[in-house]
C-alpha cells in the first residue's frame, strides 16, 4: 500500500504492536534540557532505574541560561539550582552534557542538527514542543511531557497512538524579502492554532523544496503553533549536503548507504493524506502577528483587524481580549505599531542564516533611538561562525546587544524579559500573554522584519528602509 | 499514579478559548526541580491581575472539575501545566478541543481530560454560573459525564487502553518494561550508521 513519509518512519520504529494497545515506538535520539527533565531523573532514582541508552541521549543547558557574564554564577538561585540539577543528573546517569561555556552549548534544537545528530528517518523526542524542528530533515520528531521523558530515559521507547497525516503544499516561489517564517505564519493563520491537532504535517511543493535546510527548520519548528505535534519535509540533496561531514554524520560507504535509504522515505506518489492544504508562495508577503496566539496574524501591509469581522463568536471574543491585552485599536496599520524591543534569536530563527539575513539589513545602519535590540545566537557555534564572518561586529556597530547562546527572551526564563507594557518584534514562536515577560506584548516576525523594525522603530520590512 | 474511576465535584467555568500552557502556568514557575507544589503557579497571572478571574471568586473555591473553552492547553509541552491543575485540586478538565501534547500529558498523569461537544460545555457553563453548587460527575467506568442540574448526561470517548490504565492507576514505564526483550530484539536490527552521542 502506498504510504506517506510519516507512516514509513513510524513503521520502521515499531518495537511491538498488539491489538487494542498503542504501538511501542523506538526512539533514536533523546534531547534533554534543564527545565523538563529534573522530575524525570528523580523518577528513575526513586524506582531504582537507569538510563537504558545514554549513547542515544544528549543534554544541553538552554532555557534558563543568562546570555551575558557567562563566567559569573547564575544570579537567580532557582535557575541556578535547575542547571546544577541537570549537571548532577547527567553525571550520575552517564549522559553527555554541553553546559554553559562549552562551544557546543546552545538551544537544544540548534545543537542537534549542527552536530549531525539529526538525520532523516529518525525518531527524535525532547521535553520541548519545538522538537518538531528536526522534522525538516525527514525525521519524525515531536515534543513530549516529563512523564514521557522519564519513559524514554528508562526504556528508549514510547507507547504512541497513530497520527493522521496532513499535506501542506506551498506552490510557486517566494518573492524577495519574504521568508520561511512568513510561510509558516501564513499557514498557521490559515488553518488556526488547532488546525493541525492530531496530525503530522508534511510540507511539500516547489517553494518548500527551494528552501535551505535552516529555512526548512524554521517552517517545521512552528508546526506545533498550528496544533500539529510534528512537521516533516522530504529529505533531498539539500538535506544530504547539510548532513554530510558533520561530527555525527555517517562516514564514507555508510553515508552512501544512508542516502539510499533516506531517498526511500519520500511519500509514495499515490499515497493519500487525511487532509490537504494548499498555499501559493507568490501571494505571500511579510507576515506579522497582532494578537496573543500565533494564528492571529496578518500581512505587514494590513491593519489591525476589527473583532467584529470574525464570524465565529469564540474567535471574536478572543480577538477582543487580544486587542485589549496588546493595547491595539482595530484599523491601525501594522506599520504604525511602535516597538521598544527587537529580539532576534530562538530555535525558530537563531541560526547562522537568520543572523546573516538580519546583519545584511542592519549593516551601516543604526538601531532606532529608544529601541533595544537583542541578538541571541542559537548556539555558541553559531556565535563563533557569526564572529568569523564579522556579523557580531555589524550588530554591535548598529547599537544592538550581541549576546551568548540560549533561549533567552523567547520565553523569558532568564533575565532577558520584557517589562510590563513593553512591546517587542520577535523572531521567536509564541506571542502568548506574558510569554516574554509579565505584561509584555509580542509581535512575531521574520528576521528581515525584525532587522528593519529595529532601524525604523515601527514594524517594517526592508523595503521600507531608505537607501544607505 | 492515583486511580480514576468516578469523580463528582463542583465545577469552574473557564470561558476562554486557546488557553495556552503559558497561561496555565507561566514559565517563571517551571524552575523548580520537585514534582509537587505547583498550585501557586496555576493561572498565576490571571489570578494576580484580575480580581474577577473565576478562580478568585469565593463561590468556586474547592471545585475540582474545570470546564474550559476550545483548544485548551496549546503551546509548550510543559507537564507542569498538568501538575499545577492537579496540585490545585482539579481531577478532570472538560473541553470541546484539547491540544495534543497537553492531552497526552494529562492522561499519563491521571488528570482526566474529557472531550465533549461545545454545546454541552455551553450548557454546563450556564448551569454552573447560575448555581456554583452544581455538581458534575465524571464517570470513567461508564465513560459518561452527568450533571442532572444542567440536564447533562453525555457519553464521551476514550480508548480502552487508556481507560484501563487510568482505572488501574498503572505506570506506563512498568508496563513497557515487561517488553524489554522486544526492545532488545529491535535494537539488534537498527541501521548501523545511526548516530550515537557518546
Residue A399 near residue A364 (C-beta atoms within 8 A): no
Contacts of A259 (CB under 8 A, 6+ apart): A240
Q: Distance between alpha carbon B44 and the CA centroid of its chain, in Å?
A: 17
Cell numbers placing A160? 504512541
Residue A415, burial from CB neighbour count under 10 angstroms (0-12, 13-18, 19+):
middle
Length of chain B, please? 198
C-alpha to C-alpha distances, A104 to A56, A61, A62, A64, A338, nearest whole angstrom: 17, 10, 11, 16, 36
Residue B9 near residue B144 (C-beta atoms within 8 A): no
Contact state of B160 with A20 under an 8 Å Cβ cutoff? yes
Cell numbers placing A295? 494564528
pLDDT tens, residue by residue, B79-103: 999 999 999 999 999 999 999 999 9
Query: Residue B1: what pLDDT?
Result: 81
Higher pLDDT, B171 or B183: B183
A5 by DSSP, 3-state: which? helix
Q: Among B186, B75, B31, which residue's Cα sits nearest to residue A56?
A: B186
Residue B148 near residue B177 (C-beta atoms within 8 A): no
Q: Which residues of B touch A129 (CB under 8 A)?
A: 75-77, 101
Residue B77 near residue A127 (C-beta atoms within 8 A): yes
Contact state of B79 with A42 under an 8 Å Cβ cutoff? no
Q: Which residues of B touch A38 (CB under 8 A)?
A: 32-33
The CA-to-CA distance between both ends of chain A, in Å, stands at 58
C-alpha to C-alpha distances, A314 to A196, A201, B129, nearest whole angstrom: 18, 25, 18
Contact state of B197 with A79 under an 8 Å Cβ cutoff? no
Model confidence at B53: pLDDT above 80 = yes
pTM of the full predicted structure? 0.96
Contact state of A129 with B101 under an 8 Å Cβ cutoff? yes
Residue A143 near residue B77 (C-beta atoms within 8 A): yes
Separation of alpha carbons A159 and A161, rounded Å: 7
Separation of alpha carbons B39 and A464, rounded Å: 48
Please, what are the averages of pLDDT over each run of 10 residues along chain A (468 residues)?
A: 97 97 97 97 96 98 93 90 97 98 97 98 98 98 98 98 97 97 97 96 98 98 97 98 98 97 98 98 97 97 97 92 98 98 98 98 97 98 98 98 97 95 98 96 98 98 88
Query: Residue A58: what pLDDT?
Result: 98
Contact state of A413 with B69 under an 8 Å Cβ cutoff? no
A324 touching B (Cβ < 8 Å): no
A151 touching B (Cβ < 8 Å): yes
**Longest Cα pair distance anywhere in chain A, in angstroms?**
67
Query: Residue A114: what pLDDT?
Result: 98
Q: Which residues of B touch A198 (CB under 8 A)?
A: 100
A35 touching B (Cβ < 8 Å): yes
Q: What is the dihedral of CA A244, A248, A254, A258, to 10 degrees?
A: -70
Of A81, A96, A435, the CB nearest to B197: A96
Contact state of B109 with A147 under an 8 Å Cβ cutoff? yes
User: What is the average pLDDT across B145-149?
Assistant: 96
Contact state of B33 with A16 under an 8 Å Cβ cutoff? no
User: In this structure, are strands A23-26 and A29-32 parallel, antiparallel, or unpaired?
Assistant: unpaired
Contact state of B28 with A413 under an 8 Å Cβ cutoff? yes
Bridge partners of residue A298, in order along the sequence? A288
Residue that is written with C-alpha cell 471545585 in the block:
B63
- Which residues 353-392 of chain A have a CB within 8 Å of chain B? none
**Longest Cα pair distance anywhere in chain B, in angstroms?**
64
Residue A48, burial from CB neighbour count under 10 angstroms (0-12, 13-18, 19+):
exposed
Query: Residue A467: what pLDDT?
Result: 74
Of A38, A56, A293, the CB nearest to B197: A56
Cell numbers placing A1? 500500500
A81 touching B (Cβ < 8 Å): yes
Residue B106, burial from CB neighbour count under 10 angstroms (0-12, 13-18, 19+):
buried
Residue A268 near residue A3 (C-beta atoms within 8 A): yes
- Which residues 180-219 of chain A have a CB within 8 Å of chain B? 193-194, 197-198
Of B17, B23, B179, the CB nearest to A432: B23
Contacts of A21 (CB under 8 A, 6+ apart): A159, B161
- Which residues 95-134 of chain A have a CB within 8 Å of chain B? 96, 116-117, 119, 122, 127-129
CA dihedral over A314, A410, A453, A173, signed as positive or negative: negative
Q: Which residues of B touch A293 (CB under 8 A)?
A: 18, 20, 74
Q: Among B195, B198, B101, which residue's Cα sits nearest to residue A122?
A: B195
Cell numbers placing A370? 529608544
Give the Cβ contact number of residue A133 at 10 Å: 34
Query: Residue A281: what pLDDT?
Result: 98
Separation of alpha carbons A446 and A215, rounded Å: 11
Query: Residue B2: what pLDDT?
Result: 85
Contact state of A154 with B177 under an 8 Å Cβ cutoff? yes
C-alpha to C-alpha distances, A464 to A68, A284, A335, A451, B165, nearest whole angstrom: 32, 17, 10, 11, 58
CA dihedral over A336, A342, A347, A349, signed as positive or negative: positive
Amino acid at each position: 500500500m502506498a504510504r506517506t513519509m510519516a507512516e514509513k518512519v513510524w513503521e520502521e520504529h515499531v518495537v511491538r504492536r498488539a491489538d487494542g494497545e498503542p504501538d511501542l515506538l523506538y526512539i533514536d535520539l533523546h534531547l534533554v534540557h534543564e527545565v523538563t527533565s529534573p522530575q524525570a531523573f528523580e523518577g528513575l532514582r526513586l524506582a531504582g532505574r537507569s538510563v537504558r541508552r545514554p549513547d542515544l541521549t544528549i543534554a544541553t543547558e538552554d532555557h534558563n541560561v543568562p546570555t551575558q557574564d557567562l563566567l559569573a554564577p547564575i544570579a537567580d538561585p532557582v535557575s541556578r539550582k535547575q542547571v546544577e540539577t541537570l549537571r548532577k543528573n547527567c553525571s550520575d546517569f552517564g549522559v553527555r552534557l554541553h553546559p554553559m561555556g562549552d562551544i557546543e552549548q546552545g538551544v537544544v534544537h540548534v545543537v542537534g542538527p549542527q552536530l549531525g545528530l539529526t538525520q532523516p528517518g529518525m525518531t527524535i523526542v525532547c521535553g520541548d514542543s519545538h522538537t518538531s524542528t528536526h522534522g525538516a530533515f525527514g525525521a519524525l520528531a515531536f515534543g513530549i511531557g516529563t512523564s514521557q521523558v522519564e519513559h524514554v530515559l528508562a526504556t528508549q521507547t514510547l507507547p504512541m497512538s497513530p497520527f493522521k497525516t496532513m499535506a501542506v503544499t506551498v506552490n510557486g516561489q517566494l518573492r524577495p524579502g519574504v521568508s520561511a517564517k512568513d510561510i509558516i505564519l501564513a499557514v498557521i493563520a490559515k488553518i488556526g492554532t488547532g488546525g493541525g491537532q492530531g496530525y503530522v504535517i508534511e510540507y511539500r511543493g516547489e517553494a518548500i523544496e527551494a528552501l535551505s535546510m535552516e529555512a526548512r527548520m524554521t517552517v517545521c519548528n512552528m508546526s506545533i503553533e498550528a496544533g500539529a505535534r510534528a512537521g516533516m519535509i522530504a529529505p533531498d540533496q539539500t538535506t544530504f549536503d547539510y548532513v554530510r561531514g558533520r561530527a555525527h554524520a555517517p562516514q564514507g560507504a555508510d553515508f552512501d548507504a544512508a542516502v539510499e535509504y533516506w531517498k526511500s522515505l519520500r511519500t509514495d506518489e499515490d499515497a493519500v493524506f487525511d487532509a490537504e492544504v494548499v498555499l501559493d508562495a507568490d501571494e505571500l508577503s511579510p507576515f506579522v502577528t497582532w494578537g496573543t496566539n500565533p494564528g492571529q496574524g496578518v500581512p505587514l501591509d494590513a491593519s489591525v483587524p476589527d473583532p467584529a469581522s470574525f464570524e465565529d463568536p469564540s474567535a471574536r471574543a478572543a480577538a477582543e481580549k487580544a486587542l485589549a491585552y496588546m493595547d491595539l485599536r482595530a484599523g491601525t496599520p501594522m506599520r504604525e505599531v511602535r516597538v521598544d524591543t527587537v529580539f532576534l534569536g530562538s530555535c525558530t530563527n537563531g541560526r547562522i542564516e537568520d543572523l546573516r539575513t538580519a546583519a545584511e539589513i542592519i549593516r551601516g545602519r543604526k538601531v532606532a533611538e529608544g529601541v533595544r535590540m537583542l541578538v541571541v545566537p542559537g548556539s555558541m557555534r553559531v556565535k563563533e561562525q557569526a564572529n568569523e564572518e564579522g556579523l557580531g561586529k555589524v550588530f554591535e556597530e548598529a547599537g544592538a546587544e550581541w549576546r551568548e547562546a540560549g533561549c533567552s527572551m523567547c520565553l523569558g526564563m532568564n533575565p532577558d524579559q520584557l517589562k510590563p507594557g513593553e512591546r517587542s518584534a520577535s523572531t521567536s514562536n509564541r506571542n502568548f500573554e506574558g510569554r516574554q515577560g509579565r505584561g509584555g506584548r509580542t509581535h512575531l516576525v521574520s528576521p528581515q522584519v525584525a532587522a528593519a523594525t529595529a532601524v525604523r522603530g515601527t514594524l517594517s520590512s526592508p523595503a521600507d528602509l531608505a537607501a544607505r | 499514579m492515583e486511580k480514576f474511576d468516578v469523580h463528582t465535584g463542583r465545577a469552574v467555568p473557564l470561558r476562554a478559548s486557546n488557553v495556552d500552557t503559558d497561561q496555565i502556568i507561566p514559565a517563571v514557575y517551571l524552575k523548580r526541580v520537585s514534582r509537587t507544589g505547583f498550585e501557586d503557579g496555576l493561572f498565576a497571572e490571571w489570578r494576580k491581575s484580575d480580581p474577577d478571574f473565576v478562580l478568585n471568586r469565593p463561590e468556586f473555591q474547592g471545585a475540582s472539575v474545570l470546564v474550559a473553552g476550545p483548544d485548551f492547553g496549546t503551546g509548550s509541552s510543559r507537564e507542569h501545566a498538568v501538575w499545577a491543575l492537579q496540585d490545585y485540586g482539579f481531577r478532570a478538565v472538560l473541553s470541546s478541543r484539547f491540544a495534543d501534547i497537553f492531552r497526552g500529558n494529562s492522561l499519563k498523569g491521571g488528570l482526566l481530560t474529557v472531550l465533549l461537544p461545545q454545546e454541552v460545555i455551553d450548557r454546563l457553563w450556564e448551569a454552573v454560573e447560575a448555581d456554583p453548587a452544581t455538581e458534575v460527575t465524571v464517570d470513567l467506568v461508564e465513560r459518561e459525564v452527568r450533571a442532572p442540574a444542567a440536564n447533562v448526561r453525555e457519553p464521551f470517548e476514550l480508548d480502552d487502553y487508556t481507560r484501563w490504565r487510568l482505572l488501574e492507576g498503572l505506570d506506563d514505564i512498568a508496563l513497557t518494561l515487561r517488553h524489554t526483550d522486544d526492545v532488545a530484539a529491535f535494537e539488534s536490527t537498527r541501521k548501523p550508521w545511526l548516530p550515537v552521542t557518546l
